[in-house]
Amino acid sequence: MLLLVTMVTAGSSWGQTGVVASMDGELTTAEISEMDLVAEGDTYRLYAASDQEYLRIGIESDSLYVASLCLQTGADHVSILHASAALGSLGFAENGDSYLKEGEFNWAMRETSMDPEAIKAREKYLADFAWVANTMEMGPAGQTEFLISRKMVEGDKVFLAVGLMTTADPSVILALPAEANGCATHSLVSGSPEDSYSFRPEQWMRIRLSSGE
> How do residues 119-171 score in pLDDT, each as one tens digit?
999 999 999 999 999 999 999 999 999 999 999 998 888 999 999 999 999 99
* pLDDT over 80 at 13, yes or no: no
pLDDT of residue 210: 77
pLDDT of residue 3: 56
**pLDDT tier at 7, thresholds 50, 70, 90:** very low
Report how far residue 11's alpha carbon sits from residue 152's, in angstroms, rounded to the nearest whole number.
24
**Helix intervals (H) in 51-143:** 116-129
CA angle 157, 109, 73 (to 5 degrees): 20
> How do residues 60-113 score in pLDDT, each as one tens digit?
999 999 999 999 999 999 999 999 999 999 999 999 999 999 999 999 999 999
| Residues ≥6 apart with Cβ < 8 Å to 195 | 100, 101
Residue of higher predicted confidence among 18 and 44: 44
Pairing of strands 143-149, 173-176: unpaired
Determine whether 127 is exposed, middle or buried from the number of CB atoms within 10 Å of its CB (0-12, 13-18, 19+).
exposed
Dihedral over Cα of 160, 74, 124, 120: its sign:
negative
- Span 2-208 CATH architecture: Sandwich (2.60)
pLDDT of residue 117: 94
**pLDDT tier at 9, thresholds 50, 70, 90:** very low
Report how far residue 137's alpha carbon sits from residue 145's, in angstroms, rounded to the nearest whole number.
12
Q: What is the pTM of this model?
A: 0.92
pLDDT of residue 154: 84
